[in-house]
Structure 1
Amino acid sequence: MEQSQVQFVPFNSCISGAFWQKFSENKLEHYKLDDSNIQLIGYYCNNEQPGLPCTFNVDHESFEELRLGRNNFRSEGFLKNFNTVDDFKNCDQGVYAKEAGRKLWQDITSGKIFDDVSLLNRFCVLTYADLKKYHYYYWFNFIGLTGLEKFSLINPIRQMNDQEVILIYQEIQKLSGKIEPFFGVRKTNNAIEFLQLKEISKSLQNKEEIFVVCCDPSSNDYPGWPCRNLIISACYHWGKFSDRLRVVCFRSRKPELSIEFTVQLKDLSNLEECPKVVGWEKNEKGKYGPRMVNMASNMDPNKLADGAVDLNLKLMRWRLMPDLDLDRIKNLKCLLLGAGTLGCNVARNLLGWGVRTITLVDNGKISYSNPVRQSLFFFEDSLNGGKPKAETAAINLKKIFPGVKATGISLSIPMPGHQALPDVRKDVEKIQELMLEHDVTFLLMDTRESRWLPTLLGAKYNKLIINAALGFDSYLVMRHGLKSNTNLGCYFCTDVVAPGNSQKDRTLDQQCTVSRPGMSMIAASIAVELLMTIIQHPLGGEAPADTSCEVEVEEGLLGIVPHHIRGHMSKFTQVFPTSLAFNHCSACSKPVLDAFEKDEFEFLLKVFNEFDYLEKVSGLDELQKGSSDAVVDYSDIDELSDD
């Protein structure tokens, strides 16, 4: 009979989108710049519909141990990812195929494959991932070993005998556990008995009628790729006992399409060197080379944006800051009081850091002059009397990043020196509620007195407050001290007068925020960076400030945590002063907090409506009186000395 050679149907890789998502997550979170081989588990099945290609699958569970179905068969392999596209293009791919091939050959020669027959199925995949564009380049090798000569057929490939197929199918149905990808069958009269591969040597020596079964992923007239390594293993272990082997390729969906053939066995038991490795997958053009998948076109744009927001932040942890706690930043809840020039820029910077919860509060509407300075507004927002600032800012934040939980609330903040009626209670209660719900509050309003109530509430509830204020060519960014551990002051601790109505009897240039346009972006950026520095410090908001050159203050992950940052654009300088809590402060001192604790809203009404009430409660009036008396006494001394 004329002998012909066995041909095998190669695998086609089938990679789920979830695999690339999981790989991207692992790359950013765990692998980073580590380009070591990554262990993977793939699988194939022998129940494909006729006419479908011979597929090899990996999915999101491939990075761990897969939970496989009855007709799914395990394959071990590794992924080698390159950090640059040039490394991927210029690599010697044969090195990695040979590495996997040598491992397979060692398992064959040592007999390890008899303990776990799935070890006959090996693969490797080379990858490069462009995580910014969601482009993934990959090249699979389904490791196949080939002898010095190609495998020759003694009996041609044909459909299997119906009776034998039925017997095999019936015996498989009786099995309660997992089906092995390869097993032996011993025939006795009209019955069959399943054998483990390690039992076949003895049966061959005893000249028993046996054949081996490969659970075949192919559905056409040729055996699938796994059959190749089964045959070369048979040559090594059984070639000295028999010169031929009957092979059955079993297909469980339609057993009648199962095929069989008899192959000539060459004795390879003395072969020490690993045989030649084949198995590189062809690309879409039918040539040997890598494939590329663009996951951006298949993924939810909102999820793409969500991952892209975190991309640059996660890259910080690769080399620069491995300990950066991004989850803590992501879960921050930030309250922005003021949605104007500072508020818009603070919100944009918070988005850049990956903050997902931002609430903006403002009672104003967008005017024609706003969009050029306030980065969340457009010209259309100022038409027809203007849209509400807070709600519009929140809407536009979501347009920039749909994953942000942005809320806008139109609300007036009651202020000292501004007449208030009892119905202002609901505004006070809403501000209290918002500050309790959020982790940090930014004070970004136009007037000094509008910062008083949030400062008082922040001191009462021991909440972190970040304050930013603008002058014409100067700016201030500061954090308020927490009462639990630090003795740092608040925004009002350096004042010797209580805040009052700063808008009364003011000309237009005094009513508007007149400042150099670039300063709001600088101050807003510093305010957000100060917050990030605080939350990455081991002590958080209780981190000490650098109060003396002689005392060394522990830096946090992102550096020092100053109390004040004062900038002067006319000289392009910054200074970092520190002010201690003032026991007569109009906002955070004990007398004021005690008075608020006792009467709460009644106390606030008096503060709003009586211009000197706050100074009386805080003791500032006595301090001012003492200062006046000291001046008088000093003048008297001067007059006496002149005589």
Structure 2
Amino acid sequence: MAIIQFQPFSSLVEPAFWHALNNLKIDVLKLSDDFIPVAASYAPGRAIVDRETGQEIAMPSALTLAGDAFTQHPQIPKYAVPAYGLLKNYNTIEEFKAADKTTLFNELSDEIWKDIQSGSTSKLTKFLLITFADLKKYRYYYWFAFPAFVAKPAWEAGGDWQSASETLSSETLSAVYTALHTEPRQFFLVRTSSAAPEVAPIEELQKFFDGVPPEHRLIGFVDPSGAPSNPGWPLRNLLTYLAHRHSPLFSMDSASGLRVLCWRDVDPPHDGRSRSRVGVVTGLASVQGTGERPSAVGWEKNPQGKLAPRVADLAPTMDPKRLAEQAVDLNLKLMRWRILPELDLERVANARCLLLGAGTLGCYVARMLMAWGVRTITFVDSARVSFSNPVRQPLFTFEDCLDGGKPKAACAAENLKKIFPGINSTGHNLSIPMPGHPIPPTSLEQTKKDVELLEKLVDDHDVVFLLMDSRESRWLPTVLGAAKGKIVMNAALGFDTFLVMRHGARKELAKGERLGCYYCNDIVAPADSLTDRTLDQMCTVTRPGLASTASSTAVELLAALLQHPDGVNAPAPVPTKGGELPDPHASGSVLGLVPHQLRGYLAEFRTIPLRGAAFSRCTGCGDAVLEAYERDAWSLVQSACGEPGFLERLTGLDELYREGEEAVGDVEWADEDDEDM
């Protein structure tokens, strides 16, 4: 017969437990190092099948301490059972290292032994945890002990451990599952002799098994082991308890032995399949002894397999804000495990983003940027939060609308920090001068300050998002982005259509064919589109889902662009006649293609990729405009806003228009008589 090898307990301490210990030490324990009761739990172990090799891999369940371990009524997870122990926290690392661990271990072993002699099973899984908490550095030194008595001679298995579904009826397995699901317990009895199988607490053993043949008796326990032939650590003390408290009942020869059910099912056994194991243990009669406590073992080994303490370093996570920061990045980092190992998350996170417009587009873009791990988001807007905003703009609430409404930019930044305190977000309340909107003489000084602040903001950021309501409000940021070589992302909405595009770099910085900007398809300069408009023309009237779709598309386009080695100069794929694009794997970005423009049609649930070349006479990125800006920025702004036709004259659009008119005038149109001939 083979000697039984038991699967030792392993520990798992959740970060929330160290938070609780921190508070307990500072507010309650202070200099006291008295023993403290603590509660843990463990669940049935399990095994998974490796799909490649077909072999079973044991997945033992750890004894887990959660954040409520110090409370009187801790919440025990589903399918788990409680285990109780003692914690002793030392005041210095020297005291922790010099602790008389042998004495501590023996004292707990004596307590468990006295409990066995009294006929109780409540302390069979009692454990010891000694700790030292470095409250300044958030480092925790700890060592678990799970005392288990040594049998001499050792326990032996009377055969192989078999699947419970091979030796027990489905009715018996269902009865055990129902009983443990209703009232979880570490140890239990099963009687299979009656018409219906019955389950009872281990304390009723004498009465429950009275007159029951050995072949109909089962001693069960919730088994944290996942190994097919190695029962878990709790069985050791259970066998010792049975040998010393109920030896007359189990005085049997080695041929019959004691039938043991290692319960490992967390779901109802079905289709004749059960994870639990059944085996026969022999040797109970030979270990009855004289009543003296057997020797015990049970100090947990560290991850290196040595008998030594473990260390938990929670410095990066103990601060809730830093904990939130790690949690925010978790899903992103999981992308690099298997799907995109080359994904450069730091490049995205380090992109400083300036959002011009804190309305519907601005709110959604900010949320998407945060989801990508961007840490610096700055808002610019001149409006206040109105009562129509919160339902469409997810960074605002009803309270933000009261008392005339909070300034949108600052409010959006403040609420962004409420979502994630680790974000670096600010808001600036300023108006952007627009072509076709003359600057009043009384506002010249303030407007000049606004332009200077806008220039500084563009200088301080890597990406500029154009998310404003009107076409002309995008002109000056377009000029600034082109002049300063910034990545400019543009999103604009119609009723059920949207445009998302990235601006191309200026000629001096471009590589290959230069991509166009928002104004490159125009043959007229941006002008006043707000005056003399009805209410439905002044407000942004769009289908509610359009803004989030466009915003997500814009942020995903930026993410793909940042992953391309050429950055702002990343070439745009050329769509075919049918709107098809090349293989995304052929792109230089790990996230796929980096299109120039995307036009969405919600009525058709269709998005069309487009590509447009830069226009030499463009009023936003043309050489004449950029050179004028670099000569005298303020003069350019004043002229563009106050002089009708200035941008057309500056870029040569007026000449182009005149040439077109002359060309049309030179055409000889056939008259009707000629056509009849």
TM-score range relative to shorter protein: 0.5 to 0.7
- Which runs of structure 2 are paired with 1:587-598 in the superposition (5 Å)? 587-598=620-631
2:478 match: 455
Q: Quickly say closer, same or farther: Cα 1:449–1:89, change in 2 above 3 A.
A: farther
Offset from partner CA, 1:541-571 (integer Å, 9 cap, x none): 2111012549966341111000000001111
The two structures have a TM-score, normalised by structure 1, of 0.57
Q: Distance in 1 between matches of 2:652 and 2:449?
A: 29
Are positions 1:557 and 2:557 aligned together? no
1:626 correspondence with 2:659: yes
The residue type equivalent to 2:382 in the other structure is: N
Conservation of the 8 A alpha-carbon contact between 2:491 and 2:554 = yes
Contact 1:545 1:562 in 2 (8 A): yes
CA deviation after TM superposition for structure 1 residue 520, in Å: 0.4
Q: Which amino acid aligns with 1:543?
A: A
Aligned in 2, Cα 1:280/1:474: closer, same or farther, shift over 3 Å?
A: same
Measured in 2, the distance between the counterparts of 1:52 and 1:355 equals 54
Mapped pair 1:521 → 2:572:
no
**CA apart distance, 1:301:** 2.6
Pair 1:341 & 2:360 matched: yes
Give distance in 2, aligned partners of 1:602 and 1:555.
41
Q: Give the number of aligned pairs.
A: 411
Q: Aligned to 1:497, what secondary structure does the other structure show?
A: coil
Q: Which residue in the other structure is 2:248 paired with? A: none
Q: How does 1:252-401 map to 2 (within 5 A)?
A: 279=298, 281=300, 299-401=318-420
Partner of 1:547: 574
Q: CA RMSD in A?
A: 4.3
CA distance in 2, matches of 1:19, 1:306: 20
Partners of 2:480 and 2:554 in 1: how far apart?
A: 20
Q: CA deviation at 1:436?
A: 0.9
Question: Is the Cα contact below 8 Å between 1:330 and 1:356 reproduced in 2?
Answer: yes
Shift of 1:303: 2.3
Which moves more between the two structures, 333-342 or 349-358? 349-358
Distance in 1 between residues matched to 2:651 and 2:462, nearest whole Å: 28
Alpha-carbon distance change, 450 to 93 in structure 1, aligned in 2, over 3 angstroms: farther
Contact kept? 1:460, 1:593, Cα under 8 Å = yes
Q: Judge which range, 462-471 or 344-353, deviates more.
A: 344-353
CA distance in 1, matches of 2:379, 2:461: 11
- Structure 2 stretches lacking a partner, 5+ long: 1-7, 20-56, 60-92, 106-128, 144-222, 233-286, 288-293, 302-309
Instruction: Report the equivalent of 1:156.
Output: none
- Gap change, CA 1:439 and 1:58, over 3 Å in 2: farther
Mapped to 2, the partners of 1:301 and 1:405 lie a distance apart of 16
SS at match of 2:337: helix
Q: Which residues of 2 match residues 129-528 of structure 1 at below 5 A?
A: 279=298, 281=300, 299-420=318-439, 421=441, 422-423=444-445, 424-483=447-506, 484=509, 485=511, 486-528=513-555
Match of residue 187 from structure 2: none
1:49 to 1:588, Cα distance in 2 relative to 1, 3 A = same
1:634, CA displacement in angstroms? Answer: 2.4
Q: Which deviations, in whole Å up to 9, do the C-alpha atoms of 1:203-227 show, x marking residues without a partner?
A: xxxxxxxxxxxxxxxxxxx99x9xx
Cα displacement string for residues 505-540 of structure 1 (whole angstroms, at most 9, x for unaligned residues): 111111111111110010011011111111112222
Question: Separation in 2 of the partners of 1:495 and 1:504?
Answer: 21
SS at match of 1:634: coil
The 2-side partners of 1:11 and 1:58 are apart by: 21
Counterpart in the other structure of 2:77: none
Q: Which amino acid aligns with 1:623?
A: L
Please, which runs of 5 or more residues in structure 1 have no aligned partner?
1-9, 22-34, 61-65, 73-87, 98-149, 151-221, 226-277, 283-290
> How far apart, CA to CA, are the structure 2 residues paired with 1:451 and 1:416?
10
- What's the secondary structure of 1:458's corresponding residue? helix
Residues 58 and 226 in structure 2, CA contact (< 8 A), matched pair in contact too: no
Cα distance in 2, alignment partners of residues 638 and 625 from structure 1:
25
Check 1:58–1:418 CA distance in 2 against 1; reply closer, same or farther (3 A cut).
same
1:547–1:36: structure 2 CA closer, same or farther, 3 Å change rule? farther
Distance 1:639 1:573, change over 3 A: same
Q: Write the letter of the residue equivalent to 2:463.
A: V
The 1:487/1:509 distance shift into structure 2, 3 A limit, reads same
Q: Does 1:599 align with 2:635?
A: no
Per the normalisation by structure 2, the TM-score is 0.54
Residue 396 (structure 1) shift? 0.8
Is the 8 Å Cα contact of residues 370 and 377 (structure 1) preserved in structure 2?
A: yes
Q: Distance in 2 between matches of 1:351 and 1:480?
A: 22
Give the superposition deviation at 1:59: 10
Is residue 435–residue 528 contact of structure 2 (8 Å, CA) maintained in 1? yes
Indicate the SS of the match to 1:398: helix
The answer to whether the 8 Å contact 1:331/1:357 transfers is: yes
Q: Partners of 2:58 and 2:457 in 1: how far apart?
A: 48
Shift of 1:488: 0.3
Residue 226 of structure 2 is aligned to residue 91 of structure 1 = yes
CA-CA distance at 1:280 after TM superposition? 6.3
Contact kept in structure 1, 2:58 and 2:227, CA below 8 Å:
no
3-state SS of paired residue (1:415): coil
Distance of 2:562 and 2:132 partners within structure 1: 40
Residue 47, structure 1, aligned to residue 94, structure 2: no
CA distance in 1, matches of 2:422, 2:534: 43
CA distance in 1, matches of 2:11, 2:131: 6
Give distance in 2, aligned partners of 1:96 and 1:480.
Answer: 66
What's the % identity of the aligned pairs?
50
Distance 1:578 1:500 in 2: 25
* 3-state SS of paired residue (2:610): coil
Give per-residue Cα distances to partners, 1:460-483, cap 9 Å, x unaligned: 011000000000110000000113
The code of the aligned residue for 2:488 comes to: I
Following the alignment from structure 1 to structure 2, what is the Cα–Cα distance between the partners of residues 508 and 626? Answer: 38
- Could you give the per-residue CA deviations for residues 121-170 of structure 1, whole angstroms, max 9, x where no partner exists? xxxxxxxxxxxxxxxxxxxxxxxxxxxxx9xxxxxxxxxxxxxxxxxxxx
Distance in 2 between residues matched to 1:557 and 1:337, nearest whole Å:
28
1:167-205, CA deviations, whole angstroms, 9 ceiling, x for partnerless residues? Answer: xxxxxxxxxxxxxxxxxxxxxxxxxxxxxxxxxxxxxxx
Whole-Å Cα distance in 2 between the matches of residues 323 and 36 of structure 1? Answer: 32
Question: Which residue of 650, 655, 659 maps to 1:617?
Answer: 650
Q: Is the 8 A contact 1:564 1:576 kept in 2?
A: yes
- Residue pair 2:358, 2:409 contacting (<8 A) in 1 also: yes
